[in-house]
Amino acid sequence: MTTFQFESDLLDVHLNPTAIKRYVERLPLLVKAQGLETSTRDLILAVQCIDLTTLAGDDTSSNVSRLCWRANNPLCKAIVDHLKKEEINDAITTAAVCVYPARVYDCSQYLGKLNSLISIASVVAGFPAGQGYDVCTSQEIKYAIESGACEIDIVINRTLALIGQWETLYEQIRTISQLCSQSETHLKVIISTGELATLTNVYKASMVAMMAGADFIKTSTGKESINAKLVYGMVMCRAIRDYHLATGRRVGLKPAGGLKNANDALCWIMLMRTQLGPDWLNNQRFRIGASSLLGKIEAELFQRLLKRTPQDYELSF
Q: Looking at 218, 223, 229, 296, which residue is catalytic?
A: 218
Known active-site residue 32 = no
Q: Looking at 188, 204, 229, 254, which residue is catalytic?
A: 254
For residue 229, the domain's CATH number is: 3.20.20.70
- Whether a cis peptide bond, with omega within 30° of 0, leads into 310 is no
The answer as to whether 66 is a domain residue is yes
The answer as to whether 232 is a domain residue is yes
The pTM of the full predicted model, rounded to 2 decimals, is 0.94
Q: Is 54 left (phi over 0), alpha (psi -120 to 50) or beta?
A: beta
Question: pLDDT digit string (tens) for 116-154?
Answer: 999 999 998 667 666 665 677 888 999 999 999 999 999
Question: pLDDT digit string (tens) for 250-292?
Answer: 999 999 988 999 999 999 999 999 999 999 999 999 999 988 8
Bridge pairing between strands 252-254 and 186-190: unpaired
The answer as to whether 4 is a domain residue is no
Q: Which domain holds residue 160?
A: 9-310
The answer as to whether 1 is a domain residue is no
Q: Determine the Cα–Cα distance for residues 84 and 266; give it in Å rounded to an integer.
A: 23
The answer as to whether 2 is a domain residue is no
Known active-site residue 218 = yes
How sure is the predictor about 226, in pLDDT bands with cuts at 50, 70 and 90?
confident
Secondary structure E strands in 193-314? 216-218, 252-254
The answer as to whether 146 is a domain residue is yes
Rounded to 10°, the helix 230-247/17-33 angle is: 100
The answer as to whether 315 is a domain residue is no
Select the more confidently predicted residue: 134 or 306: 306
